[in-house]
Each structure stands twice: as structure tokens, then as C-alpha cells.
Amino acid sequence: MIRPERPDDADAIHDLTVIAFDPMPFSDGTEAPIVRALRAAGDLTVSLVDEEDGEIIGHVAFSPVTIDGADVGWFGLGPISVRPDHQRRGVGSRLVAAGLDELRARGARGCALIGNPAVYGPMGFVGDDALTYRGLGDGLVQRVVLEGEPVDGELRFADAFEAYEDAHE
Ligand SMILES: CC(C)(COP(=O)(O)OP(=O)(O)OC[C@H]1O[C@@H](n2cnc3c(N)ncnc32)[C@H](O)[C@@H]1OP(=O)(O)O)[C@@H](O)C(=O)NCCC(=O)NCCS
């Protein structure tokens, strides 16, 4: 069952995020604190969980982004976590689809993310060189247009993400 997070889900989402990212070589362990920081800042615009038999097995967050410094109605996807013993069963795809539906219902114009194209291509995201982020290449910057035309320019994620990126530069 996919549903919006409730206040008492915060710890379960934190633990799930830690468990999901722990084996990932690219992870520096910042994802779980980022979810908490997004929530504290009021930037967790859409936060959905997948609950099975009373346990949260998946979570996805969406927060506002700017492009070339402007709010153009776009959002960023992430972090997204599926419990390792439930991965590759469509949970992540269903969470992403439900989140994009929710964004569309709120009048969002698009959604962007940084991630593995092999994961997000099948979920409808496409690489777009016109959308940039801190000089990243290899198709890692991807987007879905929900309304209107694609946008171009430099992405800036919510402060909770950018604070960690700044600290690592
Ligand atoms: C990434 C993640 C959220 C995907 O969730 P999921 O429930 O496993 O994804 P789905 O089952 O919906 O997969 C949909 C498709 O995405 C692709 N995919 C998913 N995980 C993949 C992986 N690790 N490598 C390559 N392709 C992958 C596949 O095409 C897959 O379809 P298939 O299983 O029929 O081949 C999940 O694996 C996860 O939590 N990973 C650890 C945390 C993480 O890396 N988060 C994302 C950081 S950018």
C-alpha cells in the first residue's frame, strides 16, 4: 500500500534509508539525515511510503528545485529507498509513479534527479544535457516533463542536499 508518510513514520523511514543505501558504493551515508533535514525545513513536498504487513519497505521523497535560480515548478526526486530484500520487485517503480502522479496533481511542471540511468530510464526518466548539475556528465542528470516544455539550466536542489554537496567540495 502506497500512502503519504505520517508523523510517526519518521524513524522507520530513517532506518530504511540507512539499510537501503548502506551497501551502495557511491553512498556517503548522508541520505537518511537529508530526509530528516528536508522534513525539518518544510521541503519534503511529497513523501510516500510503501507499507506491507505493517512494515515500511519503500520510501520516496520529492522536494523543490530551482533552475538557474528560478522556481519554475520543478521538483527533485530523492532519496528513494527500497528494503534490500524487496528490491527488483517493482516497489521503486510504483513509488516513483505514485509520486509523479501526486506532483502532477499539485501542478508541478517537471521532475529531475541525479542517478543511474539504468534504474530511472525504465521509470520514464531521460538524460538531458541541457539540464546541468555541478558539472556531472554520463547522463546522470535526468528528468521527466509533467507539463509544458523541457527546461534548461543549472539545477539547484533543496538546501538539505546542497549543504552536504557544498561540504564535500
Ligand atoms: C534504486 C531502488 C530504489 C530501485 O527500487 P526497486 O524496487 O529495486 O526497483 P524496481 O523493482 O521498480 O526496478 C525497476 C527497474 O529499474 C531497473 N533497476 C532497478 N534497480 C537496478 C539496479 N540496481 N541496477 C540496474 N537496474 C536496476 C531495472 O530495469 C528494473 O526492472 P527489472 O527488475 O525488471 O529489470 C532500490 O534498488 C534501492 O533502494 N537501492 C538502494 C538505494 C539507492 O540506490 N537509491 C537510489 C539512489 S540514486
Average pLDDT over residues 51-80: 98
Report the separation in Å between the CA atom of 87 and the middle of ligand 1, taken as the mean of its atom positions.
6
99-105 contacts: CB < 8 A, separation 24 or more?
A: 99/46, 99/48, 99/60, 99/62, 100/124, 100/144, 100/146, 102/46, 102/48, 102/62, 103/45, 103/46, 103/62, 103/75, 103/146, 104/146, 104/147
Domain count for the chain, please give it: 1
Average pLDDT over residues 147-152: 95
Name the residue at shortest CA distance from atom 23 of ligand 1: 119
- pTM here? 0.96
45 pocket-lining for ligand 1 (C-beta < 6 Å): no
Report the separation in Å between the CA atom of 124 and the middle of ligand 1, taken as the mean of its atom positions.
13
d(CA 62, CA 79): 8
How do residues 107-147 score in pLDDT, each as one tens digit?
A: 999 999 999 999 999 999 999 999 999 999 889 999 999 99
Kindly tell me if the per-residue pLDDT of 167 is higher than 80.
no
Which CATH number characterizes residue 76's domain? Answer: 3.40.630.30
Average pLDDT over residues 146-161: 96
146 pocket-lining for ligand 1 (C-beta < 6 Å): no
91 pocket-lining for ligand 1 (C-beta < 6 Å): yes
C-beta of residue 62 within 8 angstroms of C-beta of residue 46: yes
118 pocket-lining for ligand 1 (C-beta < 6 Å): yes
What pLDDT does 168 receive?
72
Question: For residue 113, which atom of ligand 1 is closest to its CA?
Answer: 48
What pLDDT does 120 receive?
97
Full residue range of the structural domain in which residue 61 is found: 2-168
